[in-house]
Amino acid sequence: MERFKNKYRVESNRLTNWDYTNDSFYFITLCTYLKSNYFGDVLHNEMKFSELGHIALNCWYEIPSHYPNAILDEFILMPNHIHGIINLQNDEYNTYGNLSNVDGHTNTKDVACNASTNRELSQKMSGISPKQKSLSAIIRSYKSAVSRIAGRAGHDFVWQSNYYDRIIRNAIELQSIRHYIRYNPLK
């Protein structure tokens, strides 16, 4: 375990040895600081957005404009968090990241191998470095944009410092997570 300033143990909540530029589906959860209800309220099983909620929603829809490798899948904006699925497609020749083309099963080892063998070609074609296409770069940019626009609008808004992610491993899991996201307001 690494220690920060020889005092604090710092553990990453990211999967060790996984390249977060790999083509895959990622389930993301972003929370507001202290889980404050900035984005609105759930009334009659439906989300009613505040001004900050509309800002967060509009910025989410803008992600593919800034990151063409990010394909938005199912997502929901709740009063104090966002659940979303982002499908990274950095390699135009890779079909492993698209679970709809798989018979309910995929092997993350195959995804990693396929992505790494074509990464050099993909980089030359895009002109964008792989780290700029990573999941963390996308999330960092999104959170920054929401914070910046909220601040300009006069809102005192803060995100939780990190985010949660899960690499979706097969089509069955993808469908289960989509269902969870769709019906989250009912809970």
pLDDT in tens, 16-39: 677 888 899 999 999 999 999 999
Contact indicator for 77, 88 with CB cutoff of 8 Å: no
Domain 20-186 CATH class label: alpha beta
User: Cα–Cα distance between 134 and 117 in angstroms, integer?
Assistant: 17
Which region, left, alpha or beta, applies to residue 154 given φ > 0 means left and ψ of -120 to 50 means alpha? left
pLDDT at residue 107 greater than cutoff 60? no
pTM: 0.75
Residues 114-136 have pLDDT tens digits of 333 334 434 433 444 557 789 99
Residue entry with tokens 């790999």: 22
Domain boundaries, the chain: 20-186
pLDDT value of position 115: 39
Is 179 a residue whose pLDDT tops 80? Answer: yes
Could you tell me which of 108, 72, 85 has the C-alpha nearest to residue 174? Answer: 85
